[in-house]
Amino acid sequence: MTNTINEVEDAKAIFVIGSNTTENHPVIGYRIKRAVKKGAKLIVADPRRIELCDYADVFLQLKPGTNIALLNAMAHVILKEGLADEEFIKARTENFDALKATVEKYTPEYAEKITGVPAENIIRAARIYAEAETASILYTMGVTQHTTGTDNVLSIANLALLTGNIGKPFSGVNPLRGQNNVQGACDMGALPDVFTGYQSVTDEKARAKFTQAWGVELSGTPGLTVTEMFSAAENRDIRAMYIMGENPYLSDPDSSHVRYCMEQLEFLVVQDLFLTETAKYADVVLPAVSWAEKEGTFVNTERRVQKVNQALKPRGKAKADWQIINEIGKRLGFGWNYRCAEDIFTEIAALTPSYAGINYERLGVTGINWPCPTEDHPGTPILHVGKFSRGLGRFSAVEHQDPAEKPDEDFPFLLTTGRVLYHYHTGTMTRRSKGLRKVLNEELMEINPHDAKALKLQESDLVKVSSRRGEVKSKVRITDRVPRGVVFMTFHFKETAANLLTSSHSCPTAKIPELKVTAVRVEKA
């Protein structure tokens, strides 16, 4: 997030796109509702009629995979009606003309044809967003998990730049991160192209710094992303894999393919709390401890570094992930000898400018938002104040592109996936929680009443859902939360693994898979 969670509550307008916030980020959802009670205007864009729609001034029920058309049309209206912040555009941005030229053809009527959203609603949304004194955009995987994922995000950024809604309180471009430490994992360089703090592996200076600090030769060639790794395993370019705390067999698209690729590996080591569906394919399984059994730090979605403290002794012979990696590092002859998590954090701070001023002692009960370059720096709740990190904010001219899969005669429905309030990701944790399991312990695929009627389905009937890659059987929940022609499944339940259906078509830039759009067939089972 460019801004903080608490600021959401005092924004004058909030634009939620591709985020079912009340279920996936409940405490941020609370703040959106509070903002509405305080008088904020709310725009919700989502293929599903999610709970937040009950609070929205405008609900933009777009067809899955049509974000850019919608966002470009909003930009079109903002420009046409003279609602843009010209001073901001002039002082702080570049490439404005390219944007202007591109959005010219995205009239609300043109966008209506692509998105299915009535033109008048697009106009209302654009006015609300642009006319508000402060407007905040919140988005999640509904925006990013598309073949156009990167362009979708760039179109969001365009809106913020057009209206000057960035670099000031109660505004911003705010991705809500779905996992406790996905921000931290990125910050720490668990990415194929960067070291910590987004220092590029192709940058010789950065490489020299890390080479010197670590005492090893480092590769300057960016590595493979998660989806590419599995294909590389299939081609035998990858022979050995080390998977820590992930369950790609259930979480990654096209599970059958993932399984096949894992089977091709000569050696797979999986480190986890449980014998996950992925761990079953491993040659070696290393037992790790939960968050409650170790010390360290997580970074939340607002870039706040917060302490994790050990409450319990490790279960059985399980060890903290850092201890296990340390042991492997020792055995590989790297000369490591980390005694505690803090030793590692000190090294991180020394090598990462945005973390340089952070230490365990400073984190206290509130944590610190990075960037925090020095020990007397209070942290940075709001990014891009006065200046963007790259200097000027760059408009991006992006065009709508159809999703990789479209419904056809054989696969007439669009499946979109996500999470529900009572479960989390592949269910390894929540399905082992007694209370949560009691509330919900099976998939209930959402289908529109009209579609259900056509298929002669009753509530809780079993259906066979198939795509070009696989099939699963699921119970149905008949609800107008989903529009006609769209069905929704979670990926929490291994018995009905939705990712057997999804495709690995992905965004060429971010390599994020298009989990939000899969053409499927639904039949009564």
Enumerate residues 134-173 that contact other proteins by CB under 8 A.
144-145
Task: Please state the closest distance from residue 453 (CB atom) to other proteins, in A.
Answer: 26
Among 14, 16, 273, 465, interactor with other proteins by CB under 8 A = 273
Task: Please state the closest distance from residue 233 (CB atom) to other proteins, in A.
Answer: 8
Stretch that binds other proteins, among 63-71, 95-103, 110-118, 511-519 (CB under 8 A): 511-519
Closest by CA position to 226, among listed 201, 196, 246: 246
Cα 111 from Cα 108, distance rounded (Å): 5
Among 332, 339, 389, 390, interactor with other proteins by CB under 8 A = 332
Closest by CA position to 68, among listed 398, 519, 525: 398
Stretch (H or E) spanning 370:
none
Closest by CA position to 353, among listed 322, 385, 389: 389
Task: Please state the closest distance from residue 512 (CB atom) to other proteins, in A.
Answer: 4
Of 296 and 470, the one with the shorter C-beta distance to other proteins is 296
Residue 184 sits in the site that holds other proteins (CB under 8 A): yes
Of 5 and 44, the one with the shorter C-beta distance to other proteins is 5
- In SS3 terms, 390-439 reads as CECEECCCCCCCCCCCCCCCCCCEEEEEECCCCCCCCCCCHHHCHHHHHH
Task: Please state the closest distance from residue 152 (CB atom) to other proteins, in A.
Answer: 14
Residue 384 sits in the site that holds other proteins (CB under 8 A): no
Compose the 229-268 pattern: x for residues touching other proteins by CB under 8 A, - for all others. x--xx---xxxxxxxxxx-x--xx-------------xx-
* Binding residues among 414-453 for other proteins as defined by CB under 8 A: 421-424, 428-430, 432-436, 438-439
Task: Please state the closest distance from residue 43 (CB atom) to other proteins, in A.
Answer: 18
Quick one: residue 352, left, alpha or beta (phi over 0 = left, psi -120 to 50 = alpha)? beta
Residue 308 sits in the site that holds other proteins (CB under 8 A): yes
Enumerate helices (H) and strands (E) in the chain, giving the number of each. 19, 19
* Binding residues among 188-207 for other proteins as defined by CB under 8 A: 188-193, 195-196, 201
Inter-residue contact 290 to 273 (CB < 8 Å)? yes
Cα 276 from Cα 282, distance rounded (Å): 10
Residue 218 sits in the site that holds other proteins (CB under 8 A): yes
Q: Residues 130, 132, 135, 137: is their CA dihedral positive or negative? A: negative
Residue 297 sits in the site that holds other proteins (CB under 8 A): yes
Cα 385 from Cα 409, distance rounded (Å): 51
Length of the chain: 525
* Binding residues among 58-117 for other proteins as defined by CB under 8 A: none
Of 41 and 177, the one with the shorter C-beta distance to other proteins is 177
Q: Residues 332, 337, 340, 341: is their CA dihedral positive or negative? A: negative
Give how far Cα 9 sits from Cα of 14, 161, 169, 234, 369, Å.
9, 21, 11, 48, 19
Of 131 and 321, the one with the shorter C-beta distance to other proteins is 321
Of 167 and 189, the one with the shorter C-beta distance to other proteins is 189
Among 53, 182, 455, 525, interactor with other proteins by CB under 8 A = 182
Task: Please state the closest distance from residue 205 (CB atom) to other proteins, in A.
Answer: 16
At position 279, the amino acid (one-letter code) is: A
Task: Please state the closest distance from residue 264 (CB atom) to other proteins, in A.
Answer: 12
The Cα diameter of the chain in Å comes to 68
Residue 510 sits in the site that holds other proteins (CB under 8 A): yes
Structure tokens at 465: 């859902």
Among 256, 264, 290, 401, interactor with other proteins by CB under 8 A = 290
- Complete DSSP assignment for 204-252: HHHHHHHHHHHTS----S----HHHHHHHHHTTS--EEEEES--HHHHS
- β-pairing verdict for 518-524 and 413-418: antiparallel
User: CB 2: neighbour CB atoms within 10 A?
Assistant: 24
Among 61, 181, 448, 474, interactor with other proteins by CB under 8 A = 181
Task: Report the SS3 class of residue 34.
Answer: helix
Of 291 and 411, the one with the shorter C-beta distance to other proteins is 291
Stretch that binds other proteins, among 108-116, 363-371, 405-413, 459-467 (CB under 8 A): 363-371
Inter-residue contact 400 to 68 (CB < 8 Å)? yes
Cα 312 from Cα 235, distance rounded (Å): 43
At position 320, the amino acid (one-letter code) is: A
Phi/psi of residue 448, nearest 5 degrees: -70, 145
Stretch that binds other proteins, among 58-66, 106-114, 323-331, 460-468 (CB under 8 A): 323-331
Task: Please state the closest distance from residue 398 (CB atom) to other proteins, in A.
Answer: 19
At position 32, the amino acid (one-letter code) is: I
Of 343 and 523, the one with the shorter C-beta distance to other proteins is 343
Stretch that binds other proteins, among 85-93, 104-112, 166-174, 303-311 (CB under 8 A): 303-311
Residue 25 sits in the site that holds other proteins (CB under 8 A): yes
Of 110 and 422, the one with the shorter C-beta distance to other proteins is 422
Of 294 and 400, the one with the shorter C-beta distance to other proteins is 294
Cα 46 from Cα 355, distance rounded (Å): 36
Cα atoms in the Cβ-side hemisphere of radius 13 Å centred on 3: 27
Among 16, 173, 286, 372, interactor with other proteins by CB under 8 A = 286
Of 114 and 262, the one with the shorter C-beta distance to other proteins is 262
